[in-house]
């Protein structure tokens, strides 16, 4: 049964297994159903998924938190260092469509559990790699990316099925708060363990233990089959009644569309296309910032004479700790602000969501540009403008996902999320760390080998992020032209 979520009828096997409309939805009368809120177990399941999301993003940003130590340990250039995060993202995005396909058709709990076990085990194993086997470390990061892809494609769809639209936005906002919180904690954990132990390898031995706890909670608390809300179940509900199968006579709706049919349908959904490109710009900027900002700040401090060049075995990790704290604080505030702004502005403007995203992207791009320009003279101002840039980026996380969930029909949501992950990472943060490193290397190669040019090369390459942010705002503006029509079509 649908556990007190407004539907008392028993779901069919097709609904349980495939997550879309039943193979044949017959015409039926209006069925009066009491509208109860979500069950306590639903909130418990959501809490487990949020905890696992926290670990997911902590694992993402362990490497950037101790990037200077890793760069020295394996003797990597800027270009090679950027490639390290690119390998992770490439494997992640290529695996996402596969798990999106599986998530729409098979048991989601088993897929999630296998993913958590896999990525936690590989992370632990990577902490024992010697400096002579840098290629194994690259390989391990790619495998962790494959493991985390199982989670990011499937977990949001479970939350979407557990809650109605009003609660869904709130719960998704909470879920996505753990993106910046987990990212920031990844920096803090990595830098903190390196400082405490004097060995950066210990940074990769904490999150696997947390992953083991997440796996136990998943097994014990998440139902073996989580009911999936179908298009019929999300149909018009007024005054405690739900119209079951409001189809015209002779029209049948089926869950068993092919993957190619799903992709073609999504490609014609312009709200999905433009918002996905906007998310791609966000991913480009966050990927570059997340990888390089601590190292950029270190080079700025060396030029200003605030710190000495890192020659000892363990480098100063204070920039990673501060940046991690900024990421956590601005992430929480940004996601909450974005969700609340969307909730209020939707009442007066049906295009509020993409307009919020566009505005925040434009402001973020401006703040990041200012941060880069003042870095050589005032490090405090740099931290402040980076914080504002991250704040306005974080405004969009939950809003972009909510756009997808109401402009895409439920039977295609896992596939839509997977495709959005593929595109946003392929054109976004899969290449941006490597691109920034490559540009920096190219600039350094043409100039004298000095700390000043080491800083300038990174500064000039970072300007790319500001321009990409402006393009992202433009993509969200384009999405606003189609949002109303696509939402009506998905609801029908």
Same structural domain, 314 and 417: yes
pLDDT value of residue 38: 57
Q: Does some domain include residue 18?
A: no
Helices 483-491 & 397-407, crossing angle to 10 degrees? Answer: 50
Q: Does some domain include residue 410?
A: yes
- One DSSP character per residue, 277-303 reads HHHHHHHHHHHHHHHHHHHHHHHHHHH
Work out the end-to-end distance of the chain between its first and last CA atoms, rounded to an integer number of angstroms.
24
Same structural domain, 55 and 195: yes
Q: Is the per-residue pLDDT at 68 higher than 90?
A: no
Query: Mean pLDDT lowest for which of 8-12, 36-40, 275-279?
Result: 8-12
202: domain CATH number is 1.20.1250.20
Same structural domain, 221 and 269: no
Cα distance between residue 477 and residue 351, in whole Å: 10
Q: Does some domain include residue 432?
A: yes
Cα distance between residue 54 and residue 39, in whole Å: 23
pLDDT value of residue 166: 67
Cα distance between residue 376 and residue 220, in whole Å: 53
Give the bridge partners for 242, in sequence order: 31, 237
Mean pLDDT within 338-364 = 92
Considering the chain, what is the average pLDDT of its residues? 80
Counting the structural domains of the chain, the total is 2
For residue 145, the enclosing domain spans: 39-225
The 10s digit of each residue's pLDDT in 169-198 is 778 778 877 887 888 898 889 888 888 888
Identify the band that residue 96 occupies on the pLDDT scale cut at 50, 70 and 90.
confident
Mean pLDDT within 35-47 = 74
Q: Does some domain include residue 27?
A: no
Q: Does some domain include residue 299?
A: yes
Of 224, 273, 283, 308, the C-alpha closest to 45 is: 224
Q: Is the per-residue pLDDT at 234 higher than 90?
A: no
């Amino acid at each position: 049964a649908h556990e007190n979520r407004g539907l008392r009828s028993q779901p069919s096997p097709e609904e349980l297994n495939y997550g879309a409309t039943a193979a044949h939805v017959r015409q039926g009368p209006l069925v009066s159903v009491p509208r109860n809120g979500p069950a306590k177990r639903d909130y418990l399941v959501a809490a487990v998924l949020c905890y696992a999301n926290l670990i997911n993003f902590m694992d993402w940003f362990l490497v950037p938190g101790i990037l200077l130590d890793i760069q020295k340990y394996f003797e990597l250039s800027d270009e090679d260092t950027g490639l390290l995060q690119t390998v992770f993202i490439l494997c992640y995005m290529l695996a996402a469509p596969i798990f999106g396909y599986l998530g729409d058709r098979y048991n989601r709990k088993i897929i999630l559990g296998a993913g958590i076990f896999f990525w936690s085990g590989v992370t632990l194993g990577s902490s024992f790699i010697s400096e002579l086997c840098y290629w194994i470390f690259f390989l391990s990061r790619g495998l962790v990316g494959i493991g985390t892809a199982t989670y990011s494609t499937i977990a949001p769809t479970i939350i979407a099925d557990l809650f109605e639209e009003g609660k869904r936005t709130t719960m998704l906002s909470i879920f996505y708060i753990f993106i910046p919180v987990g990212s920031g904690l990844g920096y803090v954990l990595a830098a903190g363990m390196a400082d405490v132990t004097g060995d950066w390898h210990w940074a990769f031995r904490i999150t696997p233990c947390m992953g083991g706890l997440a796996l136990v909670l998943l097994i014990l608390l998440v139902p073996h089959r989580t009911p999936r809300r179908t298009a019929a179940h999300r149909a018009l509900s007024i005054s405690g009644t739900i119209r079951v199968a409001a189809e015209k006579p002779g029209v049948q709706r089926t869950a068993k569309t092919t993957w190619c049919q799903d992709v073609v349908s999504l490609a014609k959904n312009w709200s999905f296309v433009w918002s996905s490109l906007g998310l791609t710009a966000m991913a480009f900027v966050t990927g570059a910032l997340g990888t390089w900002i601590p190292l950029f700040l270190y080079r700025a401090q060396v030029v200003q004479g605030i710190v000495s060049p890192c020659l000892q075995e363990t480098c100063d990790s204070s920039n990673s700790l501060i940046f991690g704290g900024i990421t956590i604080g601005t992430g929480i505030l940004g996601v909450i602000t974005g969700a609340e702004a969307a909730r209020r502005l939707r009442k007066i403007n049906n295009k509020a969501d993409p307009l919020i995203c566009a505005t925040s992207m434009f402001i973020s791009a401006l703040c990041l540009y200012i941060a880069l320009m003042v870095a050589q003279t005032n490090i405090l101002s740099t931290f402040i403008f980076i914080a504002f840039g991250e704040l306005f980026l974080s405004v969009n996380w939950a809003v972009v996902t909510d756009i997808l969930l109401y402009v895409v029909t439920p039977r295609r949501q896992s596939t839509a999320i997977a495709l959005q992950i593929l595109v946003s990472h392929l054109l976004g943060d899969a290449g941006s760390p490597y691109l920034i490193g490559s540009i920096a290397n190219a600039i350094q190669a043409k100039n004298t080998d000095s700390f000043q040019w080491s800083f300038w090369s990174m500064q000039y390459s970072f300007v790319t992020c500001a321009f990409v942010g402006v393009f992202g705002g433009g993509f969200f503006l384009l999405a606003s032209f189609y949002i109303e029509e696509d939402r009506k079509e998905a609801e029908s």
